[in-house]
Chains A and B, each alone.
Chain A
């Protein structure tokens, strides 16, 4: 274990083995253009030099140039792009280009919260905190519930979230060094972390007189998503009408349909997102309701497994921060790399947060 002196945030790119310190370069052409030409130019550019692998890159950015506040800035890379550099430069997801000191501190404080959740139970568990970064507000938080599923689709869970089975909690001895144990003795003590050992449930011993069920799939991220959805329903009870349905099947099977038919069925999917991005989330006005978790971040102690990572795609999470990699089933770089799956209809940015040694030694208890 290398000794870390300070907190650090590392972007986990969509393709493996690209060093942040030494990204490959590519030629880029940039120009200031008339704003009203932007649509035409982009259409032509998409034909002549499509930005493959870089679907999140914006070609045009509005910037304020002296004496011409409405000027636009067009840029495109040469064909055959596999440029990490241009994605670093042009991405519209905050943080890929680096974090301000203020933003970094926010990231660290939410990660501390997730670490605290991890250590709050009788055994180490994964923990998830969903956050609205625009107002720095916690939307939902949860740790694994593979052993403590209270009841299916219980709407009161908004209030009872994260409360463990009481009998279990009383037997728990708080361990001030819990987080230190997490990193140093990975193999010994993390065997109850759902995303690391998803098949462990089969060995679960049931206690008699239990008040809750076990559920092999209630990993922290899935529970946090469920709570965020329940909160949404609670805050915006009347507005079920803006869900788009592209998340499960965007276009239908290629085995049966002709491409022409597929086109027809391919639902426009990202319009809601852009419409809503500008909205504030803090109010209960129906029109300001965010679509699913669009614009929200999630903090996880361990890199999520494939199931959890895909759930976060479905729920449209914007950024994922995790502290420890998951060498067994990690789906964000360790084993799979879902953020690099082009076919998915939504792509989040992924970051690993490195913890300094002293945080590990004096973990919150």
Chain B
């Protein structure tokens, strides 16, 4: 995992900016503010943000959302599995937080080329923090620390400004009526 804040190119920063926008969208929708974009040949081909609250499915991370869109679009356009594998091998992911162990495995299964992330994930990180799935088997290039403070401040806002979905210290009340 390379930290290269000073040599981040303008395009790297602009793609991460878009990922941050996705994270912002998650925040507006009371979701954990993590967002991502997939980039192929210099163009954003898919975006995603956390959707775990809405779906009640704790695996619906930003990466999984964006991957589903990609797979559907490519197959709607008639691409074969082999062609899709070829596309993934030229894809880069920009995500505001280090992919968790599940997502890092998924990215390895898809054979993505590289991942650029913002802040680290010291509880669940699969790209160096807990496991290093990017450097095992069919791995991928991984660069962290890009606009990390922006990513962190979004998460901090989420947790500190009184998350309405926060677990209450006592048995949850019936809020929806």
Question: Could you list which residues of chain A lie within 8 angstroms of chain B, going by C-beta atoms?
Answer: 149, 152-153, 198-199, 201-206, 213-217, 222, 225-226, 229-230, 232-233, 238-245, 247-257, 261, 264-265, 267-269, 271-272, 275, 286-287, 292, 305-307, 310-311, 313-316, 336, 338, 341, 343-345
Task: Report which of A232, A287, A344 forms a contact with B171, defined as CB distance below 8 A.
Answer: A287
Q: A255-B148, A256-B152, A310-B124 are in contact. Are A248 and B97 (CB under 8 A)?
A: yes
Chain B hits for A292, CB < 8 A: 56, 58
Q: A152-B72, A287-B171 are in contact. Are A314 and B145 (CB under 8 A)?
A: no
B2 interface contact, C-beta 8 A: no
Chain A hits for B111, CB < 8 A: 199, 202
Task: Report which of B58, B119, B172 forms a contact with A241, defined as CB distance below 8 A.
Answer: B172
A-B interface contact total, Cβ < 8 Å: 208
B90 interface contact, C-beta 8 A: no
Q: Which residue of B lies closest to A270 (CB)?
A: B167
Q: A242-B172, A253-B120 are in contact. Are A307 and B80 (CB under 8 A)?
A: no
Task: Report which of A149, A198, A206, A275 forms a contact with B81, defined as CB distance below 8 A.
Answer: A206
Question: Which of B12-20, B38-46, B101-109 lies at the interface?
Answer: B101-109
Q: A152-B72, A225-B59, A245-B32 are in contact. Are A307 and B105 (CB under 8 A)?
A: yes
Question: Is there an interface contact between B176 and A238, defined as CB atoms closer than 8 Å?
Answer: yes
Question: Is there an interface contact between B167 and A242, defined as CB atoms closer than 8 Å?
Answer: yes
Chain B hits for A261, CB < 8 A: 156
Closest chain-B Cβ to A280's Cβ sits at a distance in Å of: 14
B143 interface contact, C-beta 8 A: no
Question: Is there an interface contact between B106 and A343, defined as CB atoms closer than 8 Å?
Answer: no
Question: Is there an interface contact between A343 and B123, defined as CB atoms closer than 8 Å?
Answer: yes
Q: Which residue of A lies closest to B119 (CB)?
A: A253
Bound-complex Cα distance A345 to B75 (A): 37
Chain B hits for A287, CB < 8 A: 171-172, 174
Question: Could you list which residues of chain B lie within 8 angstroms of chain A, going by C-beta atoms?
Answer: 3, 31-32, 34, 50, 52-59, 61, 64, 67-69, 71-72, 75, 80-82, 85, 97-98, 100-102, 105-106, 109-111, 119-124, 126, 130-131, 133, 138, 144-145, 148-149, 152, 155-156, 158-160, 163-172, 174-177
Question: Is there an interface contact between A229 and B55, defined as CB atoms closer than 8 Å?
Answer: yes
Task: Write 23 A-B pairs (CB below 8 A) sorted by A numbering.
Answer: A149-B71, A204-B81, A206-B81, A213-B71, A225-B58, A241-B165, A243-B165, A245-B31, A245-B163, A252-B122, A253-B119, A254-B122, A256-B152, A257-B152, A265-B159, A267-B166, A275-B170, A275-B172, A306-B105, A307-B101, A313-B102, A315-B57, A343-B130
Question: Is there an interface contact between A256 and B165, defined as CB atoms closer than 8 Å?
Answer: no
Question: Is there an interface contact between A216 and B109, defined as CB atoms closer than 8 Å?
Answer: yes
Question: Is there an interface contact between B75 and A214, defined as CB atoms closer than 8 Å?
Answer: yes
Q: A215-B71, A248-B34 are in contact. Are A241 and B176 (CB under 8 A)?
A: yes
Chain A hits for B126, CB < 8 A: 306, 310
Q: A248-B52, A292-B58 are in contact. Are A213 and B119 (CB under 8 A)?
A: no
Question: Is there an interface contact between B176 and A286, defined as CB atoms closer than 8 Å?
Answer: yes
Q: A252-B152, A275-B172 are in contact. Are A341 and B130 (CB under 8 A)?
A: yes
Question: Is there an interface contact between B56 and A249, defined as CB atoms closer than 8 Å?
Answer: no
Question: Is there an interface contact between B119 and A256, defined as CB atoms closer than 8 Å?
Answer: yes
Q: Which residue of A lies closest to B97 (CB)?
A: A249
Chain B hits for A250, CB < 8 A: 123-124
